[in-house]
Amino acid sequence: MKKELMNYEAILKVTRATMLSRDPEEVALLTVESVKRALHAKGCALLLFNRKTDELEIAASFGLSEEYLSKGPISSMRSIAGSLKDGPVAITDVTDDPRIQYPEEARKEGISSILSVPIIVGENPIGALRVYSSEPWEATLEDVNLVQALGQIAGMGWELARLYKGLKSSIEILKRNREPKALKLSK
Please check the confidence at residue 181 and state whether its pLDDT lies above 60.
Answer: no
Residue 76 covered by a domain: yes
**Residue with the larger pLDDT of the pair 152 and 164:** 152
Number of domains in the chain: 1
Three-class secondary structure assignment of the chain? CHHHHHHHHHHHHHHHHHHHCCCHHHHHHHHHHHHHHHHCCCEEEEEEEECCCCEEEEEEEECCCHHHHCCCCEECCCCCCHHHHCCCEEECCHHHCCCCCCHHHHHHHCCCEEEEEEEEECCEEEEEEEEEECCCCCCCHHHHHHHHHHHHHHHHHHHHHHHHHCCCCCHHHHHHHCCCCCEEECC
Question: Whole domain around residue 7: which residue ranges?
Answer: 2-179
Residue 96 covered by a domain: yes
pLDDT at 20: 64
Residue 185 covered by a domain: no
Kindly report the average pLDDT of the chain as a whole number: 81
33-54 tens-digit pLDDT: 988 988 999 999 999 988 888 8
- Mean pLDDT of the 63-88 span: 84
Residue 184 covered by a domain: no
Write down the pTM of the prediction: 0.81
Answer whether 130's CB lies under 8 Å from 48's CB.
no
Q: CATH no. for residue 15?
A: 3.30.450.40
Residue 25 covered by a domain: yes
Residue 186 covered by a domain: no
Residue 73 covered by a domain: yes
